[in-house]
Amino acid sequence: MAENVVLQVDGLCFAYPECAVLGGLSLAWPGGVALVQGDESTGKTTLMRLLAGELPPQAGEVTLQGVRQRGALQAYRARVFWHDLRSAALDALTARQWLDGLPARYPAWDAAALASHVEGFALQPHLDKPFYALSTGSRRKVLMAGGLASGAPLTLFDEPVAGLDKPSIHHLQSALAAAAGHLERLVVVAHYEALPGVAWDHAITLLR
């Protein structure tokens, strides 16, 4: 893997019983911000789950900062921030409890960044609510605040603006714009279109 590459994907393949999704995807991305673009049912979420190590590829290899997913899955996952919004795993926790547990997992955690994102996403009134009581938009904002503050080498956001109000969308755009060009960290966003105001360092389009 080239010295400046954060994420390398070689010949990644995955298919569901009813359809093929990815057929030999390869890429080599340095740090910064990356866009995975595509219409519905083109495999954006599947790719994010594969990159997160949540879904095993049927062929190919994913390497993050020199750590191969297949050979060292636990070490690989420790370098990734990813949460599926559809999962009920966090439902019993309050937003604050979950956020308070993240610094122990992510060595590059940035408390000042979290405070900035809590303010930017207007999360203060929601921090002591359990996840199950949060709206979809508020859940998404809590997860993104944690992800942006995590400092994880690979941070994955799937359809990040769904359910967000305009001020929160603007804050997200600013946060992604600020992450562009970072050498040691890659933030990957799956969305059906490019977000305005973000100078994407990398982009791919998935097709049916």
pLDDT tens-digit series, residues 94-138: 999 999 999 999 999 999 999 999 999 999 999 999 999 999 999
Average per-residue pLDDT for the chain: 94
Residues 61, 42: Cα–Cα separation, whole Å: 20
Domain boundaries, the chain: 32-54+81-206
pLDDT tops 70 at residue 3 = no
Its CATH architecture, for the domain 32-54+81-206, is: 3-Layer(aba) Sandwich (3.40)
The per-residue pLDDT for range 23-51, each reduced to its tens digit, is 999 999 999 999 999 988 889 999 999 99
Cα angle: 105, vertex 172, 174; to 5 degrees: 110
pTM of the predicted structure, to 2 decimals: 0.95
Please name which of 193, 199, 186 lies closest in space to residue 29, comparing C-alpha atoms. 186
